[in-house]
Structure 1
């Protein structure tokens, strides 16, 4: 496989790719096209066939691969070395750092990454330094509103929201108090709040009543008592109403927060998540969630339509962090794409409750294209059932 990530910046041609997740008027379904990206990283031309290109143009033969807006994992933990759960960078960190240690995440991870990495700032000063062993929300002394505001103002280019873990195992007897304070700060700082829902107290019902347009419920399909959206019809209606109020429902799979049963039932009633994310971290990577493509494959298998899965993995999360892509295929737009195949394959997986399922289609990413650079996909996989080599690139589990 040719590697283009470190090649000199010359024009890049993506040949014979099939757009998905873009404006349907501009990209007819299943139509193959060529996309020419200039050395400056901006789209120069899109057409069914581009035969005249400069001699130094690098070419990726998509061979009918899908191309979508660049995938964005909305909920990850990437402060590698700064917390005991974080892994190496993906894209949006969901509260690993608080105001007392955000500078480390910024200097050592965000500013050194090839990817665009954004972050939700944990309202607890220490963030997830020792996740679930030392709570970031034990007492009021764990939250410093002045320092939170100063940290946000100094990092507006990368901080995209505030993170609150509204769960009884974190906040003990505080119930809704941390979330109320987080919402107040969000209004003052003009930022959305991402809320982790889990074990009561608070109850999922009460959390929803405090949220507004643009706020994010992560772990929306968890199967925990008190946070289980199928446990009573009133709660399910509240979640539907939250969606209708433009509150973002985010999967946030994680090691303890995604149930096949809950997701399947919600999808059967047309309650779809707006965003799909992994909540990938060091405590889950050898268990139920180890990469983004497999997480997307789970939602596809549960009945979420292909194009909706792609939107929930690409343009929707960018809107959720107020960094929308715009018209990526328009001439002059900066390139940000993911090339992938959808393989007919068999892969045994689990949800975070340990329930097994077998996937029969799996997403197989080939390249991430950012500007004029292209990174071939590389993935970590735990020891799972092996499957046949990809016919396009030879990759094998």
Structure 2
């Protein structure tokens, strides 16, 4: 059997059975093919001995509208060298500028990009425009519901609605209606989901989640400002656990300002794991700090906090793939799936992780990307590998 690329001797991860499996992966064109029992002749052979061969990683929360917002990254430049082949943009654009985002970024990128549409007309295009930034206006009086509806209905790329909901955006603003309530109402009308940024929320999170349905995303679930997911006994609120059990999605979406070790560690110790591990990458934190850096860096943080590796991998592969409506196409190494692959190695080396407040975790290992394949093309490879 003739294939374009053969990845041999690597260790794949069987999430269903929580097992590590020595396996070879064959690629023809942009798809993974079944090579079991076949004599394989490959144009390119990659020996992945002592490496994990993972599906291309999925970063479910970042900002990718580069040249359209001051905060966004170029996903191809930042993600591919770090094993990420699919992403979700977390509301960088609103209905006004989504067409530009789609035309100039989404359709032009190697990385597969899906998105949430911001309730604000121009999305996050005002952020980062000055020394302190210019926060978006989330006054519901300014929401153009008809335009939002039309944009969502015309674009299957859009996964739902996005709202940033924190005190600095809505406290003492004199809004006649609540931005969160309006977002929920519109999402239900459109039969779609929403993703809400809830750091320093005006409402307790255990109350807020009562309005979340299956597939709705609570972003920055381990932030440590104001209302958090923890009660006075440092345990996860029962209402939060119940919400997760009924399908509400809890995304760590790390960011520079949205992660607290005390909250995260207490939650993990209480048996509460994030459904999604993502970065909230922006120009401010990508490849720059010990808080975010890359998706593999954030995954490594959870390894060192004691979260099981199988759950970590699930949170960057099959779970986000399902939410993106791309089951069997991405997030897996099954025949017929897109040939998106990350070849990574666990490095045993001291490493420091920090949170928003400057608290540090001294780790002893991290995941290092050696090669990335996207749509059947080798798009990144270390010189020694």
TM-score tier after normalising by the smaller chain length: 0.7 to 0.9
Q: TM-score, with normalisation over the residues of structure 1? A: 0.85
| Equivalent residue in structure 1 for 2:358, among 350, 354, 360 | 354
Matched residue, 2:13: 20
| Equivalent residue in structure 1 for 2:109, among 99, 108, 113 | 113
Q: Aligned pair in 2 of structure 1 residues 330, 86: CA closer, same or farther (>3 Å)?
A: closer
SS of residue in 1 equivalent to 2:350? strand
| Equivalent residue in structure 2 for 1:53, among 28, 32, 40 | 40
Shift of 1:38: 1.7
How far apart, in 2, do the equivalents of 1:130 and 1:93 lie? 16
Superposition pairs of residues 142-153 of structure 1, within 5 angstroms: 142-153=142-153
Matched residue, 2:82: none
Shift of 1:369: 2.5
Instruction: Report the more deviating stretch, 211-220 or 329-338.
Output: 329-338
Q: Aligned pair in 2 of structure 1 residues 69, 130: CA closer, same or farther (>3 Å)?
A: same
Matched residue, 2:295: 292
Unpaired runs of at least 5, structure 2: 80-86
How far apart, in 2, do the equivalents of 1:57 and 1:147 lie? 50
Matched residue, 1:37: 27
Superposition pairs of residues 1-397 of structure 1, within 5 angstroms: 11-24=4-17, 29-39=19-29, 41-46=31-36, 52-54=39-41, 57-89=43-75, 90=79, 91-131=87-127, 133-156=133-156, 158-173=157-172, 174=175, 177-227=178-228, 229-231=230-232, 236-285=237-286, 286-287=288-289, 288-325=291-328, 328-376=332-380
Unpaired runs of at least 5, structure 1: 1-8, 379-392
How far apart, in 2, do the equivalents of 1:362 and 1:377 lie? 18
Q: Is the 8 A contact 1:19 1:30 kept in 2?
A: yes
SS of residue in 2 equivalent to 1:57? strand
Q: Is the 8 A contact 2:138 2:179 kept in 1?
A: no
SS of residue in 2 equivalent to 1:220? coil
Q: Is the 8 A contact 1:93 1:120 kept in 2?
A: yes
How far apart, in 1, do the equivalents of 2:104 and 2:248 lie? 32
Q: Aligned pair in 2 of structure 1 residues 207, 265: CA closer, same or farther (>3 Å)?
A: same
Aligned-residue CA RMSD (Å): 2.4
Shift of 1:140: 2.6
Shift of 1:138: 4.0
SS of residue in 2 equivalent to 1:162? strand
Q: Is the 8 A contact 1:137 1:143 kept in 2?
A: no
Shift of 1:329: 4.2
Shift of 1:231: 4.4
SS of residue in 2 equivalent to 1:117? strand
How far apart, in 1, do the equivalents of 2:176 and 2:313 lie? 36
How far apart, in 2, do the equivalents of 1:147 and 1:377 lie? 43
How far apart, in 2, do the equivalents of 1:151 and 1:84 lie? 23
What are the superposed Cα offsets for residues 69-119 of structure 1, whole Å, 9 maximum, x if unpaired? 221011001111211211111421101111111112111211110111111
